[in-house]
Amino acid sequence: MTVIIRPLKKNEPLPMDLLLLADPDREKVNSYLEKNQLIISECNQQVIGVLVLGYSQNQAEIKNVAVSEQCQGKGIATLLVEYAITSYLKGLKIQAQDSQDYPLYVKTGETSLPAIKVYTRCGFKEVKREVNYFVQHYSEPIYEFGQLLKDQLIFQYLPN
């Protein structure tokens, strides 16, 4: 299986079905799409994964990572996150050890164990927990792997 990772072109359709896998609130997803970089993974000209990378004045954030269900567990999310890290470092023209001055964050739910493994494998460390974030910020309860999603974990890219 040959996988290509690349930025989504402006004239290409948004992979909304994939984006909603990671964040079921369409309104929230739409709110962060316009000003951020979308990175996709393709196999046989089919979009099988997506990552949204956003920049602000003093930080960057991976806002969404999703891989189609039939391609999960094959390292696609890791490839997307590694591409995003490289893009972030190149965009800032900095070395990994200097990333503290302009941090890269990713946020996820405490029940998202596969995602947590990907982020920690790629050099992210948990720096904060927002208790009951998903209960307070989403109108409908979210269940992952049969568990109610409550807390949001915030990870920062902190390479060794």
User: What are 96-106's pLDDT values in tens digits?
Assistant: 555 566 789 99
Kindly indicate the confidence band of residue 92, based on its pLDDT and cuts at 50, 70 and 90: low
Residue that the structure tokens 């307070």 belong to: 136
pLDDT digits (tens, 9 = 90+) for 102-158: 789 999 999 999 999 999 999 999 999 999 999 998 888 988 889 999 999 999 998
The three-point CA angle 82-59-63 to 5° equals 55
Domain extents for the chain?
A: 4-157
The C-alpha atoms of residue 142 and residue 113 are separated, in whole angstroms, by 15
The three-point CA angle 22-148-49 to 5° equals 15
CATH class of 4-157: alpha beta
> What's the pTM?
0.87
